[in-house]
């Protein structure tokens, strides 16, 4: 299997067996080219689905409205209602690699700690195991799944550019495929690649975000994903949806 990096705004895509968008901007470039009548083999979400995931507060509200709010950390209206010393996360509505989000410990008399126009407050889910489920969908069906299991430091943190992992192990598939299918349907995500970042509390996922693109950790373990992607765009009628193991 050969691959080539290309600028999806201008590259001739007609000669490729498959075109894999890597960034949020790539989705827009490909959609514009489809509108102009170009044909190529690619899977990517709608603009609405991408927006529902990229805006992290909107994502939380959609899940709450769909009866799935138990699978995201609780939103915090007033940190003064929490015991002193409680860690909470100040989360940016639009962020990548956790660069603009941070942990704050509640203190008596704490002044305004976030910009409500750009940020929101959320329950901090502790733990040393963080998971990223890398999923590929076609027509609303999950057709590829692989989970990265990260061992993290035992201190309050935001995984990303500022806090890396100590150890990474891979798990084929996911223990939560049926639930993830429901969640992705709620945000309108039917086609393309996404990465669901979460921790588990008593076996139940608490989802931090859905990145509506290929997750960074998958790039180091990408062979089976690319084979699945190629099959999905070339012979979609033969693709089988995955289900969680019983």
CA distance linking residue 124 with residue 228, whole number of Å: 35
Supply φ then ψ for residue 172, to 5 degrees: -70, 135
Together in a domain, 164 and 64: yes
Together in a domain, 60 and 154: yes
Q: Is residue 7 part of a domain?
A: no
Together in a domain, 170 and 227: yes
Q: Is residue 21 part of a domain?
A: no
Contact 1, 226 (CB under 8 A): yes
- Tens place of pLDDT per residue across the chain (246 aa): 567 888 999 999 988 999 999 999 999 999 999 999 999 999 999 999 999 999 999 999 999 999 999 999 999 998 888 898 999 999 999 998 888 899 999 887 666 788 889 999 999 999 999 999 999 999 999 999 999 999 988 888 788 766 778 999 999 999 999 999 999 999 999 999 999 999 999 999 999 999 999 998 898 888 999 999 999 998 766 655 665 543
Q: Is residue 27 part of a domain?
A: no
CA distance linking residue 111 with residue 109, whole number of Å: 6
Together in a domain, 196 and 167: yes
CA distance linking residue 131 with residue 102, whole number of Å: 19
- Identify the pLDDT of residue 246: 38
Together in a domain, 170 and 187: yes
Together in a domain, 113 and 191: no
Together in a domain, 55 and 67: yes
| Token pair of 164 as six digits | 């890396």
Q: Is residue 37 part of a domain?
A: no
Together in a domain, 110 and 204: no
Together in a domain, 210 and 93: no
For the chain, how many structural domains are there in total?
2
Contact 135, 194 (CB under 8 A): yes
Together in a domain, 214 and 97: no
Together in a domain, 168 and 227: yes
- Identify the pLDDT of residue 135: 98
Contacts of 23 (CB under 8 A, 6+ apart): 213
Supply φ then ψ for residue 68, to 5 degrees: -115, 20
Domain of residue 223, CATH code = 3.30.470.20
Q: Coil, strand, or helix at residue 64? A: helix
Q: Is residue 6 part of a domain?
A: no
Q: Is residue 3 part of a domain?
A: no
Q: DSSP letters along 13-35, please?
A: -TT-S-B---SHHHHHHHHHHHH
Q: Which residues span the domain enclosing 164?
A: 47-72+127-235
Given 123, 158, 186, the domain boundary residue is: 123
Cβ neighbours of 71 (radius 10 Å)? 19
Together in a domain, 117 and 193: no
Q: Is residue 31 part of a domain?
A: no
């Amino acid at each position: 299997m050969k691959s080539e990096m290309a600028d999806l705004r201008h590259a001739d895509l007609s000669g490729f067996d498959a075109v894999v968008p890597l960034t949020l901007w790539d989705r827009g470039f490909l959609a514009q080219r489809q509108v102009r009548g170009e044909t190529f083999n690619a899977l990517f979400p709608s603009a609405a689905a991408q927006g529902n995931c990229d805006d992290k507060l909107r994502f939380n509200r959609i899940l709450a409205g769909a009866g799935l709010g138990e699978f995201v950390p609780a939103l915090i209206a007033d940190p003064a209602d929490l015991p002193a010393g409680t860690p909470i996360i100040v989360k940016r509505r639009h962020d990548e690699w956790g660069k603009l989000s941070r942990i704050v410990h509640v203190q008596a008399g704490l002044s305004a700690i976030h910009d409500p126009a750009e940020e929101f407050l959320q329950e901090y889910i502790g733990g040393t195991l963080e998971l990223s489920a890398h999923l590929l969908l076609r027509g609303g069906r999950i057709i590829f799944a692989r989970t990265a299991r990260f061992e993290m430091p035992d201190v309050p943190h935001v995984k990303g550019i500022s806090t890396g992992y100590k150890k990474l192990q891979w798990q084929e598939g996911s223990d939560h495929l049926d639930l993830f299918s429901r969640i992705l349907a709620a945000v309108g995500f039917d086609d393309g690649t996404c990465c669901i970042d979460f921790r588990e509390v008593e076996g139940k996922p608490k989802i931090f975000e859905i990145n509506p693109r290929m997750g960074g950790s998958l790039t180091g373990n990408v062979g089976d994903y690319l084979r699945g992607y190629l099959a999905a765009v070339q012979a979609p009628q033969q693709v089988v949806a995955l289900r969680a193991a019983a």
